[in-house]
Chain A
Amino acid sequence: MHIVVCIKQVPDTSDVKINPETNTLIREGVVSIINPFDENAVEAALVLKEKLGAKVTVMTMGPPQAESALRETIALGVDDVVLLSDRAFAGSDTWATSYALGKGIAHLEERPDLILFGKQAIDGDTAQVGPGVAEFLNLPIITYVRKVEVEGQLAKVERVFEDGYERMEAELPLVLTVLKEMNVPRMASLRGRMKAKKAEIKKWTAAEIGADPENTGLAGSPTKVVKIFSPPKKVGGIKIEGTAALDAARTVVGKLKEQKVI
């Protein structure tokens, strides 16, 4: 069995602060991490590998620095990694990203039986790339999966929706997007980390995977960002400072009653 996991290197957005004067992002000191949901996808692949004996390939599209994210997955125990990196991919939206990853996966020597994604990336939060890649590859997809088992060519999964879950089945090959609750990602072993430092990282360009320039990067991205801004502040709010806790509590409860909120 061949399992492909697509990951994304993202800025650790929980570290980001806004400069209140200029209303811009302060990105200094923000580190790049593997998108946390993708770590669950990698873990799911490694668990299946341990159980069924699969080969696990991790793929990402990104700048050359994304190599470090791939190294982290080597340390965790994946067998192969591929970095899709090319200036031509610059500015890709979810459509163009799905296209490039689809092309990259199709370019792999060994066809995947299972393609895993995290449910979404924490920087974009779109959850669109998994379904997009499935469409480009014309493969079935099950999203928001919290449990997966594979028996022969049959995948049995649990898919979560708003007020419950469904038990589902599908034949391989199949695309899944996984939830955080699926597992707790392992931490890399010391041997894994030492191996990862020295590993060769396979890099593919747009031309190598046969990506059509019209569908790549900004040219291939139907959406366009036209404005970036911070949301406006609320006017007319009350703010009390330096008041003793009991007085503050009395004031706010009084206000809530006066406004008939409670």
Chain B
Amino acid sequence: MKKADKRMGLTVGVRNFREAEYFLNRGADEVYCGIPQVPNHGVKAENFGSLEDIHRTIDIAHALKKKAFLVANDIFPHKDFPKAAKTAAALVERGIDGVIIRDMAILDYFRKKGLKTHFTLSTLALCFNSGSLGFFRDRGISRVVLPQQVTPEEAKPLFRNRKGVEIELFCLPLFYETNLNPLCSMWCPCGQEIVPGKAPRPFTCQSDLYRPDGEIFRMPMPDTRWLLSTLYDLYHLGADMMKVARGPNIEEVIQVFNTTVYITKLLEKGISKELFLHEGARAAKQAQNYGKNYIFSAL
């Protein structure tokens, strides 16, 4: 397999300036930051504490010829629109390179208020075919984060008909969700606030459930080999960016980041799929294979 024509970038979710500095100096091309004034899909512990910290993050990203984004990937109550738009506009003015959104209402509002920037569609918005991609492109989206549950065969037409829209991926063998995350209302740590030192309630989708015949049922997901194989194919279809999500547990985010960098380098070397599956499986074994660990830890 030949090398892809274009290098795939790496974007990392960060919670403060120290993390931004850490990842930007170790191979990240972009970081994205949340702030409480702009609602986003994450627990409180995943947000920046101050705007000043985001300004410093923008500055260091630009000094390194890299980028910083604002994450606004939640559904907004109307009362939050003016404050969110004002904050986003101020950050765009200050140099932030784009906004990650999920809510079409806020996207319309931002655009009506004259906010001109790069808009990324969160994976939470569910874009599974080129018609959906067109739907969001019509509304001003420049990049789509591909949902995790897309096969390479399904993704081909999306890549073929993207018409300038960038496509971002998760590092699938390291971060994969059993069910469609935005449509799931079962119990899991994602919906809980972190109490330091206290383990959150377990993921329903990772727990043993019992059928009437006494058999154990676990919600299924594809195995690591499939996830690696899919990642390999999506990379060679021309994915633009790979994503490492934010998390309240920095040790885990660093581990996922390092493994993602390694896996990305394997892809960039242009190695065969068989070799990638072998080496990728070895690397992925060292890292998490599902979701996030919600026990809080700081850098």
Answer yes or no: are A and B bound together in one complex: no
